[in-house]
Structure 1
Amino acid sequence: MAGSETHYTLPRPSFDEDVKILIVVAPYYRDIADDLIAGAKAEIEAVGAEWELVEVPGALELPTAIRIADQTADFDGYVALGCVIRGETTHYDTVCNDSSRGLSTMGLAGLCIGNGILTVENREQAEVRADPDRMNKGGGAAAAALHLVALARKWKGGALPAGFRPPNA
């Protein structure tokens, strides 16, 4: 049963400089989205960071909105929030796979993204996962983004070229 196990949670990161996070949400299921947002905001505020919120039509638009923000605005990290509930068609698989792939691709390119897109079988599963007092997946996505921001800042300026470097080079 979901929620019956305990999992290790990293301690919250701390920051010497201001952090600004963009929360991008697809509010197709408004009540679920509101719970995810509440959890994300609370986690971001708990480390003293700032946040901004934008809404997009659906989960497929989440990666695009984050990419636009990365190219045109000044955010340290991103939290993608939404909910996809399995229906009667294969559209569920497309939305789940493509939104996740888009976020992962940008993450591998160096963006600090917390993925809080719920992919569930039914509304009850979504409610449990979104509720800040239960599984709090919005807070978890924000925590992931914040940890990645902290990691990126830790190694900022320390990038070394990849590959073989001959001695004395």
Structure 2
Amino acid sequence: MASNEEHYTLPRAAFDKPVKVLIVVAPYYKAIADEMVKGAQAEIEASGGSHETIEVPGALEIPSAIGIAERLSNFDAYVALGCVIRGETTHYDTVCNDSSRAITLLGLQGLCIGNGILTVENYEQARVRAESQGQNKGGGAAAAALHLLAITRQFGADRKGVGFRATPDELKIAGEGKGPATA
């Protein structure tokens, strides 16, 4: 069982400037979600960061909420928390795959996101993984987001936000009125 194996954990990320993190949680399984939020908040605070928490209806809405927050607010990093327990239909596969894929795509666009959406077979597996004094997957997701933020700050580049951004040359061309030829 993986919980009995020893795993290497990176040292806690450290920051010179303040860190503001948004925790986005789908509290469908409230006790699991609350425990994961507790672990995430403790990890962020231990790194000297501040945090806010918002709730969304389900795991599929987590990436959308993160994208909205990135466009309309000033968070440095994001923690995605939720729990999907296998049921009797293929809905489990859709929720697991699509939420994970969307979070990955946001990350590839430069957002610092720790994915703490549990995908488990039963409630007991979720409980064990969520316990803040145990496997602490909420704290692990927060640590992942903070490590990605530390790497971003190390490279010194400002984040550009989510979505398409025109290059300076494209903006110059657009400003010169270049467009379809007229007869």
TM-score by length of 1: 0.92
Post-superposition offset of 1:157: 3.5
What is residue 73 of structure 1 aligned with on the other side? 73
User: After the TM superposition, which residues 77-156 of structure 1 pair with which residues of structure 2 at under 5 Å, given as runs?
Assistant: 77-156=77-156
What is residue 57 of structure 1 aligned with on the other side? 57
Q: Which amino acid aligns with 1:43?
A: E
Q: Which amino acid aligns with 1:151?
A: I
Aligned counterparts of 1:48 and 1:122: Cα–Cα separation in 2: 35
Q: Which amino acid aligns with 1:11?
A: P
Q: Which amino acid aligns with 1:32?
A: I
Q: Which amino acid aligns with 2:128?
A: V
What is residue 39 of structure 1 aligned with on the other side? 39
Aligned counterparts of 1:120 and 1:130: Cα–Cα separation in 2: 11
- SS of 1:16's partner is coil
Indicate the structure (1 or 2) with the bigger Cα radius of gyration: 2
What is residue 29 of structure 1 aligned with on the other side? 29
Could you give the per-residue CA deviations for residues 12-71 of structure 1, whole angstroms, max 9, x where no partner exists? 011100000000000000000001000000000001100000000000000000000000
Post-superposition offset of 1:85: 0.1
Number of residue equivalences: 159
Aligned counterparts of 1:6 and 1:123: Cα–Cα separation in 2: 23
Could you give the per-residue CA deviations for residues 81-114 of structure 1, whole angstroms, max 9, x where no partner exists? 0000000000000000000000000001100000
Task: Note the residue ranges of structure 2 that are not aligned, 5 or more in a row.
Answer: 159-183
- Cα RMSD of the aligned pairs, angstroms, is 1.2
Q: Which amino acid aligns with 1:114?
A: G
Q: Which amino acid aligns with 1:54?
A: I
Q: Which amino acid aligns with 2:154?
A: K
Post-superposition offset of 1:133: 1.0
Distance 1:157 1:103, change over 3 A: closer
- SS of 2:51's partner is strand
Q: Which amino acid aligns with 1:57?
A: P
TM-score by length of 2: 0.85
Task: Note the residue ranges of structure 1 that are not aligned, 5 or more in a row.
Answer: 159-169
Identity %: 68
- SS of 1:117's partner is strand
Aligned counterparts of 2:35 and 2:115: Cα–Cα separation in 1: 15
Q: Which amino acid aligns with 1:31?
A: A
Distance 1:157 1:86, change over 3 A: closer
